[in-house]
Amino acid sequence: MERSVVVAALPDPLRSALDEELGKYPQTRLTQSVERLSSRYRENNPATAPILSSEVDIAAYAGYRMPATYAAVHAVLAEAALRAPEFAPRTQIDVGGGTGAAIWAAADVWPSLEKSTVVEQVAGAIALGRRLAEHAGGPAVRGSTWQRGLIDPAAPAPDADLVTLSYVLGELPEARRTDVVRWLSAKAGMLVLIEPGTPAGYERIVQARDELVELGLSLVAPCPHEGACPIPRGKDWCHFSARLPRTGLHRQLKAGTLGFEDEKFSYVVASRTAPERADGRILRHPLKRKGMVSLTLCAEAGLTETIVTKRHGQAYRAARDAEWGDAWPAQSTVD
Ligand SMILES: C[S@@+](CC[C@H](N)C(=O)[O-])C[C@H]1O[C@@H](n2cnc3c(N)ncnc32)[C@H](O)[C@@H]1O
């Protein structure tokens, strides 16, 4: 049987706390904010002033983007946990954390987390993030620390087992990004960078990836090697997808009818300790036909098309189960 696509839903306490927050505003105000924010984020230009500038904007951001960024961060961290099974972080710093999607996702993936800190420039996002966090079941999110501050490579580097930066690089001026990546990686046990799954988001990720390799960190995911990225620049981009359910309110906000949506993201995870890297990474939806599966893989040798047929027995069964974004060979075929 084929594995069904994993759906990463917000934890129940977060979803209901968010619904309550959104209920404070008229629907029309939220919709206006969503429209304004969506077109601003689509512009894909660095921000010269905070994009989240009013309480209703912040609530709208949390309502329409937090479920999606949560799903993307969750998918990335779950993959990192698979590749680094010994990693049991106790501390996390989420930089540019907005309303805190990444601390909720990390706490779900690693119950070992005891202390989560969010650094964010917008006071209103901190206030909302803190109110939401009070509803968390686990101690790391419920007792999280929220610091108002700017990303500043001249300040002491974030010092935590896990440092996350999700959907922020693109808001920073291009000339500062390398310094920010160096700063983020200076003391992090594991560093996670996530961007929208667009050509521009991938470009920022691949530049950060090359910088992290240069700095001597080990790549945990998605890259199965530390050689040059084989994706033909300008023609394709490495990205993945996370499925999330749409709540009723989310559906209204996004004026859609589907019960789910797919959030596309690009990412890189790097660590001070060597991970258990698979030989390859599946870069597209596997093509599943009767008796055969075709996989587009990134591997040390470059990009390959691998055909797995019934003759391959266990590998074939694993390929039937495989999804875009998974490592290959699957763990079940190498144990
Ligand atoms: C698109 S939101 C992402 C929020 C959150 N990380 C997530 O994944 O949902 C970008 C966040 O980065 C924050 N940010 C952007 N530039 C920043 C800076 N220079 N210093 C601190 N925070 C910054 C913004 O205020 C905003 O909350």
What is the pLDDT confidence band of residue 313, given thresholds at 50, 70 and 90?
Answer: very high
Q: Where are the domains of the chain?
A: 12-271, 280-334
pLDDT of 2 reads 39
- In terms of pLDDT, which residue wins out, 270 or 248? 270
Alpha carbon of 174 to those of 101, 182, 297, 310: distances in Å? 24, 14, 30, 48
- Least trusted range by pLDDT, from 141-145, 196-200, 232-236: 232-236
| More confident site: 206 or 33 | 206
Position 31 pLDDT exceeds 60: yes
Please determine, for residue 115, whether its predicted confidence score (pLDDT) is greater than 80. yes
Is the model's pLDDT at 32 over the cut of 80?
yes
Burial of 90: CB neighbours in 10 Å, binned 0-12, 13-18, 19+: middle
CATH, domain 12-271, list 3.40.50.300, 3.40.30.10, 2.60.120.680, 3.40.50.150: 3.40.50.150
CB 96 less than 6 A from any atom of ligand 1: yes
Q: Indicate whether residue 179 lines ligand 1 (CB < 6 A).
A: no
What pLDDT, on a 0 to 100 scale, did the predictor assign at position 45?
Answer: 78
Which atom from ligand 1 is nearest to the alpha carbon of 73? 8
The answer, yes or no, to whether any atom of ligand 1 lies below 6 A from the CB of 330, is no
Stretch 196-213: mean pLDDT = 97
What is the model's pLDDT at position 3? 46
User: What is the distance in A from the centroid of ligand 1 to the CA of 9?
Assistant: 22
Mean pLDDT of 163-168: 98
pLDDT at 169 over 70: yes
Q: Is the pLDDT of residue 1 over 80?
A: no
Task: In whole angstroms, give the CA distance from residue 172 to residue 178.
Answer: 10
Q: Please name which of 33, 40, 32 lies closest in space to residue 171, comparing C-alpha atoms.
A: 40
Query: Angle at CA 196, nearest 5°, toward 63 and 160?
Result: 85
What whole-number distance in Å separates Cα of residue 146 and Cα of residue 164?
A: 14
Over the chain, what is the mean pLDDT? 92
Our answer on whether the CB atom of 168 is closer than 6 Å to any ligand 1 atom is yes
**Any ligand 1 atom below 6 A from CB of 50:** yes
Query: What would the mean pLDDT of 210-230 be, rounded to a whole number?
Result: 96
pLDDT tops 80 at residue 254: no
pLDDT at 166: 98
> Once rounded to an integer, what is the mean pLDDT over residues 130-154?
97
Q: What is the pLDDT of residue 80?
A: 96
How much is the pLDDT for 277? 86
Q: Is 98 in the pocket of ligand 1 (CB under 6 A)?
A: yes
- The CB-side HSE value for 85 (13 A sphere, CA atoms) comes to 4
> What's the confidence (pLDDT) of residue 294?
97
Span 207-230, average pLDDT: 96
Q: Which amino acid is at 83?
A: R
**pLDDT of 4 over the 60 cut:** no
Q: Enter the tokens of residue 41.
A: 């984020």
What pLDDT score does 72 carry? 97
Contact assessment for residue 74 and residue 254, using Cβ atoms and an 8 Å cutoff:
no
pLDDT at 322 over 80: yes
Tell me which residue has its CA closest to atom 14 in ligand 1.
96
Residue 145 and residue 76 in contact, taking contact as beta carbons nearer than 8 Å: no
Most confident of 2-11, 25-34, 187-196: 187-196
Over 90: is that where the pLDDT of 274 sits?
Answer: no
The pLDDT value recorded for residue 171 is 94
Summarize the confidence of residues 248-254 as an average pLDDT: 64
- CB of 38 within 6 A of ligand 1: the answer is no
Residue 58 pLDDT exceeds 50: yes
Are 175 and 206 contacting, i.e. CB atoms less than 8 angstroms apart? Answer: no
pLDDT score of 187 more than 80:
yes
Of residues 255 and 32, which shows the higher confidence score? 32
Instruction: Find the 308 Cα to ligand 1 centroid distance in Å.
Output: 42
With a cut of 70, say whether residue 331 has pLDDT above it: no
